[in-house]
Amino acid sequence: MGQSRAAGAGRLRGLTGLLLAAKIAAAAAIVVAASRATERAGPFLGAMIATLPVSTGPVYVFLAIDHGAQFVSESARMSVASTAAIVAFVAAYAYAAQRFSTPVSLALATLAWVAGAFALQLRDWSFVEASVLFAGAFALAIRGLRRFGAVAQAAAVPRARYDLALRSALVACVVIATTFAGESLGPSATGVLATYPVVFTCLVVILQPRCGGPFTASVLVNGLKGLVGFGVALAVLHLAAARWGVAAALGLALAVALGWNFALYLLRARRAA
């Protein structure tokens, strides 16, 4: 009997390990494809691609598989609030990148995100409070950082050899962190971790040494308007998951994110015409 239970536990651990590996591979493939497209598209179009839920989306799919609709709804509520930490990341980087090297700029931006994420954990945010925080943070940032958004197109530079490994490693860390957070820390911490700016971090490490800090900062700052749609999509996910089921909620949230960024693109094209 004991041997049978041990064998069963071993098979379960093996299956869990395979599932985690599949999660990492799927999420990494999406992030790599999206960030490569971002490099080729220029600051504005690159920002529109980078602010699609290319890393958060797969994480929420896996959370839905593992935990169900109610967990996803509660995590998404906290993710709405945690968009303020992404704003802190972008703001810190935009200022730092004008004068500092890539490691220093990224370290300051990451420190700002960690501080924001930690502060958010000190309170159980209601959906209304999270929405107010989200709206206020983006209104201030879009206005206050707009001078960093206008930068000339950078020259094309060959990709470094470590690009794929770096992006895959970063997204793997987020998938692993959210998987274990979902098991042990609950939806609040998971919702914060799910919104860590994986694509922005990849772009900083890859673009700044090749294209310069001001250009890379312009990509992130241009992404603030796209992140508004990302935040609204998270709000829709929170509201819809508990009411209509997680599959419908995820589909609706994705449609909101895609529709928002496409509308921004059309608006810019009309102004340029």
Residue with tokens 């206020």: 136
pLDDT at 161: 55
DSSP conformation class of 125: -
What is the structure's pLDDT at 228?
92
Separation CA 16–CA 11 (nearest Å): 9
How far is it, in rounded angstroms, from Cα 234 to Cα 56? 10
How long a stretch of residues is the chain? 273
Report CA-CA distances (Å) from 155 to 36, 39, 103, 105.
Answer: 15, 11, 22, 21
CA distance 86 to 101: 20
How many CA within 13 A on the CB side of residue 62? Answer: 29
Q: What DSSP string runs through 203-224? A: HHHHHHHHH-HHHHHHHHHHHH
Residue 155 backbone class (left: φ over 0; alpha: ψ -120 to 50; beta: rest): beta
Amino acid making up residue 207: L
pLDDT digit string (tens) for the chain, length 273 residues: 444 444 444 443 443 455 556 556 655 665 566 556 656 666 677 777 777 777 777 778 877 877 788 888 888 898 899 999 999 999 999 999 999 998 999 999 999 998 998 898 888 889 999 999 999 999 999 998 988 877 655 545 555 555 566 666 766 676 666 566 555 666 777 777 777 887 788 778 777 887 788 888 988 898 898 899 999 999 999 999 888 888 899 999 999 999 998 998 888 888 776
- Do 217 and 64 contact (CB within 8 A), yes or no? no
Domain ranges of the chain: 23-272
Per-residue pLDDT, 8 = 40
pLDDT at 237: 92
Q: Where are the beta strands (DSSP E) in 10-95?
A: none
Burial call 144-157: b when 16+ CB within 10 Å, e when fewer: ebeebbebeebeee
Q: Write down the pTM of the prediction.
A: 0.78
Cβ–Cβ contacts within 10 Å for residue 21, how many?
A: 12
Token pair 């960024």: residue = 261
Locate 83 and state its tokens.
């968009």
